[in-house]
Amino acid sequence: MAKMTLEELRKLRDQKQGEMQKRDIEGKDSRIVIGMGTCGIAAGAKPVLDAFLAALEEKHIDNVSVTQTGCMGLCYVEPTIEVIVPGMPDVIYGKVDAATARKIVEQHIIGKQLVTDHMFDRPAADIIKKDGGK
Amino acid sequence: MHICIDDYLLDIVQNSFEAASTHVELALDETESKLTCLIRDNGKGMDAEVQKRVLDPFYSDGVKHTKRKVGLGLPFLSQACEACQGTFALHSEVGVGTTVEFSFNLAHLDAPPMGNLVSTFVALLSHPLAKELVIRRTVSTRKGNSTYTLSKEELEEVLGSLSTSGALNLLREYINSQEEEVMTYHVEPKMQSETRRTQQEM
């Protein structure tokens, strides 16, 4: 691939946006938050981020928000990720690898069913503020 | 423990984001035998007392995690640099910012592998606390040299917010094309132990 310029990137984005508007909007308002603290990185959170992006691209889902946070307090089950899908409970998954990431996209984000064998907890007590962080 | 150089980069640049910086710079200069890294921010900085303690893995300021007794990011990094006879230096001033300069001796057997810089740059540029991040990556070897620069503000102007799967996949494609170009000048480091053996044989 030749080195892309910012102008070429802009054209590619315009082209993609055109394609997107033709499709049904799957994944709208869904969010994936990846724990990218020292513990997460050491356990492989970065390949997990790659796997989520690849799985979403494969399914042509462009509008899921994919973002990062620090440690969620569950260092013993890293990499941890939080998935927020409208109409479903917010879930923190642990021990997530590339295969699990794919499963979460297919089963949770598209299929609207929880991946129960990787569910651990909400954020652990040591990072929840007394007022619930509000 | 981190495995690759890119893990350390991801970890330490995040410190800058979390220190309320509005401008962070990451510069990577690669030669045939050395990777020199500079991370500079204009965040809140650290006083002399804290600077002395940050390399202690059992020190944490206790702000982010009130009950935690370890802080492993910088200790991991300085240890990895030391293990391959690289360098590590930290400069910081309260209210001005922090600069971390370090290098890996790529020709040393204990130098970590580079890892995946493209993923690392995608993760860093899309970090929610990153306002402006400028990444400059240079490869200069006997084959020649090449460089590319990524600016979060510039990329957001083109792609919009770097927070959706669609934008991030385009970002990855863009960075990939830049990285492929500089990698044409990459030369595998010649391991020092092999060099020694050859000299002995001679």
For residue A59, tell me if it sits in a domain: yes
Q: Assess contact for B41 and B27: CB atoms under 8 A.
A: no
Q: At what angle do helices A6-22 and B165-183 cross, to 10 degrees?
A: 150
Residue range(s) defining the domain that contains residue B148: 5-197
Count of the separate structural domains present in chain B:
1
Q: Assess contact for A85 and A112: CB atoms under 8 A.
A: yes
Q: Specify the pLDDT at position A134.
A: 38
Look at A41 and B168 and tell me if their CB atoms are within 8 Å: no
Q: Whole-angstrom Cα distance, residue B89 to residue B100?
A: 6
**CATH number, domain containing residue B41:** 3.30.565
Q: Is A6 on the interface with B (CB under 8 A)?
A: yes
How far is the CA of A117 from the CAs of A76, A104, B84, in angstroms?
16, 11, 41
pLDDT one-digit tens code per residue, A42-52: 999 999 999 99
Kindly provide the ipTM of the predicted complex, given to two decimals. Answer: 0.81
Q: Whole-angstrom Cα distance, residue B168 to residue A131?
A: 34
Pick from B9, B36, B39, B41: which is nearest to B26 by CA?
B39
- Whether pLDDT at A77 is above 50: yes
For residue B202, tell me if it sits in a domain: no
Q: Which residues pair with A31 in a beta bridge?
A: A65, A84
Residues in chain B closer than 8 A to A64 (CB atoms): 164-165
Q: Specify the pLDDT at position B53.
A: 82
Residues in chain B closer than 8 A to A127 (CB atoms): 65
Q: How confident is the model at residue B51 (pLDDT cuts 50, 70, 90)?
A: confident
Q: How confident is the model at residue A38 (pLDDT cuts 50, 70, 90)?
A: confident
**CATH number, domain containing residue A38:** 3.40.30.10
Count of the separate structural domains present in chain A:
1
Q: How confident is the model at residue A70 (pLDDT cuts 50, 70, 90)?
A: confident
Q: Specify the pLDDT at position B198.
A: 53
- Whether pLDDT at A132 is above 50: no
Residue type, A7: E
For residue A117, tell me if it sits in a domain: yes
Q: Specify the pLDDT at position A124.
A: 62
How far is the CA of A45 from the CAs of A1, A20, B7, in angstroms?
27, 28, 10
